[in-house]
Amino acid sequence: MRRVKEKKNIGKILVATLSLSVAAFAFLLFYPLPEETPEPEPEPRSAALTIRCTGDIMGHLSQLIANYDTASGTYDFSRDYEYVRDYIAEADLALCNVETTFRGDGDYKGYPYFNSPDRLAFDIAETGFDVALFSNNHILDTKLAGLERSLQVLGDAGLATAGAYSPGAERTLIVPVGELNVGIVSYTYETALYNGHRTLNGSIMPEGAVERINSFRYYALEEDLLRIADDIASVRTRGADIVVAYFHWGNEYQRRAGQTEKDMALRIAEAGADIIFASHPHVVQEIDEIRLEEEIPPPPPAEDLPEPEPSWIIQLRRAFGIGLPEPEEEVMVEEGPRIRTRVVPVFYSMGNFISNQRQETLDNRYTEQGMIASVRLTYDLDNGYIETVDTEFIPTWVEKYSSAGRTRYAVIPLVGDYPENPELLASGHGARAEQALTDMIDLIGGKYLYRYEYGSE
């Protein structure tokens, strides 16, 4: 009897075990699978960037004399820029037009053939500038040797150069700025042919100079615009995310941009430039924003990743062909091209940043006026285009007065509490500075005036 009971108990245990196994197996096959948790969308990535540029840094003889210390026999131009230093330093990338040469022979001169001491290049760099735009009508004032040495001196000072280049170097410049690469293309106008020879500033260009500078010819503009478009395409191919174009163009002392320059700006924007800075008229001209409707390029295709190995539960269900979720029907949505408005700021002339051109020398108060052109932008790092653009200008005025037998120059930013600037108080020129600010606002409008709550005020 005992053995019979033991057999019955074993049978019950086997039946129970089998029942549990069948139930567990059925549970694995038919119980609803948990919903998969979707991968979180990555946060969009963007970069903020401020690019600033100034107009003409001239080297008139009176400026050289004013910044020479007879006791030490040295030059010091740093005080000329002490009030704008913070505005230059705020920029992630700062550019300026250097309108003189550095021949290094000690024969320093001003107009009409500029030749400045090397100290000027170093003081420009120490002000906070990163790039010297070296494409203007005075870069051959000390001939080809002066151009070559000027590039060397500017480089030694820590300034990258755009517009002229050494043999074998690239025609265009790329500057890494944070997560972005900024490409710079820079050009000066040539003057008319003379007996079949190309000229710059009315003088025949020396042999080899044409191959060393970026220039354009008003008399062959269509040909040269195509070459400039090629340069913009080339700098993009070399990795530029943003392209800045600089032009030395226009008519001196004309306060409105000419139609030719406006047409050029449109062509250059259409060719892919993102910002256009310009100078040469020695007075400030208007600011504009060219708006272009363009297709947003599709993002690069996502990398094909191998599908993860399915869990053993899914593999089990697949083996028996039951308990699998119905495949979702993929809905194809026809998407047309995405269109955006690309905004290209154009500063037709930034005027004189510092010079001796003024009311007393030219009977022209507008030559005392300049600006720090400023573009603040955000760049979509994921899709590769500029999202937002904020176009501004910081108005400046060139102070000049005499004190204790010395002449003092200073670039005064006309923002914030500028009437309290110590130089204006010392010179008594507050009304002239105020007139300069009024002139520029009347010309440009208040729309683009620098909102100094973003800056160093």
Kindly report, residue by residue over 123-146, the tens digit of the pLDDT.
Answer: 999 999 999 999 999 999 999 999
H or E stretch covering 97: strand 93-99
What would the pLDDT profile of 134-179 be if each residue is shown by its tens digit? 999 999 999 999 999 999 999 999 999 999 999 888 999 999 999 9
The answer to whether residue 60 scores a pLDDT higher than 50 is yes
CA dihedral 172, 164, 190, 142 (to 10 degrees): 180
If one counts every other C-beta atom within 10 angstroms of the C-beta of residue 48, the result is 12
Q: Alpha-carbon distance 316 to 131, whole Å?
A: 66
Q: What is the mean pLDDT of residues 228-232?
A: 97
Tell me which of 184 and 321 has the higher pLDDT.
Answer: 184
Give the model's confidence band at 326: pLDDT under 50 very low, under 70 low, under 90 confident, else very high: low
CA distances from 447 to 88, 391, 444 (A): 21, 9, 8
Q: Residue 379, Cα to own-chain centre: how many angstroms?
A: 11
What would the pLDDT profile of 427-453 be if each residue is shown by its tens digit? 999 999 999 999 999 999 999 999 854
| pLDDT attached to residue 405 | 87
Q: Alpha-carbon distance 83 to 394, whole Å?
A: 12
Give the model's confidence band at 456: pLDDT under 50 very low, under 70 low, under 90 confident, else very high: very low
> Is cis: bond before 112, omega within 30 of 0?
yes
What would the pLDDT profile of 245-302 be if each residue is shown by its tens digit? 999 999 999 999 999 999 999 999 999 999 999 999 999 999 999 999 887 766 656 6
Q: What is the mean pLDDT of residues 215-221?
A: 97
The answer to whether residue 189 scores a pLDDT higher than 80 is yes
What would the pLDDT profile of 297-323 be if each residue is shown by its tens digit? 666 566 665 666 666 666 666 666 665
The answer to whether residue 2 scores a pLDDT higher than 90 is no
The answer to whether residue 73 scores a pLDDT higher than 80 is yes
Tell me which of 31 and 246 has the higher pLDDT.
Answer: 246
Quote the strand ranges of 384-443, DSSP E.
385-403, 406-413
Task: Tell me the percentage of the chain whose pLDDT exceeds 90.
Answer: 76
| pLDDT attached to residue 378 | 96
Single-letter amino acid code for the residue at 256: R
| pLDDT attached to residue 454 | 43
| pLDDT attached to residue 315 | 66
> Lowest mean pLDDT: which of 55-69, 255-269, 332-346?
332-346
The answer to whether residue 198 scores a pLDDT higher than 50 is yes
Query: Nearest 5 degrees, angle CA 286-CA 288-CA 289?
Result: 170
Task: Tell me the percentage of the chain whose pLDDT exceeds 70.
Answer: 81
What's the mean per-residue pLDDT of the chain? 89
All domains of the chain in start order, with CATH: 46-292+338-454 (3.60.21.10)
Q: What is the mean pLDDT of residues 54-73?
A: 96
| pLDDT attached to residue 340 | 84
HEC per residue, the chain: CHHHHHHHHHHHHHHHHHHHHHHHHHHHHHCCCCCCCCCCCCCCCEEEEEEEEEEEEECCHHHHHHCEECCCCEECCHHHHCCCHHHHHCCCEEEEEEECCCCCCCCCECCCCCECCCHHHHHHHHHCCCEEECCCCCCCCCHHHHHHHHHHHHHHCCCEEECECCCCCCCCEEEEECCEEEEEEEEEEEEEEECCEEEECCEECCCCCCCCECEEEHHHHHHHHHHHHHHHHHHHHCCCCEEEEEEECCCCCCCCCCHHHHHHHHHHHHCCCCEEEEECCCCECCEEEEEEEEECCCCCCCCCCCCCCCCHHHHHHHHHCCCCCCCCCCCCCCCCCCEEEEEEEEECCEEEEECCCCHHHHCCHHHHEEEEEEEEEEEECCCCEEEEEEEEEEEEEEEEEEECCEEEEEEEECCCCHHHCHHHHHHCCHHHHHHHHHHHHHHHCHHHECCHHHCCC
| pLDDT attached to residue 44 | 79
The answer to whether residue 94 scores a pLDDT higher than 70 is yes
The answer to whether residue 196 scores a pLDDT higher than 80 is yes
Query: Nearest 5 degrees, angle CA 350-CA 225-CA 288?
Result: 35
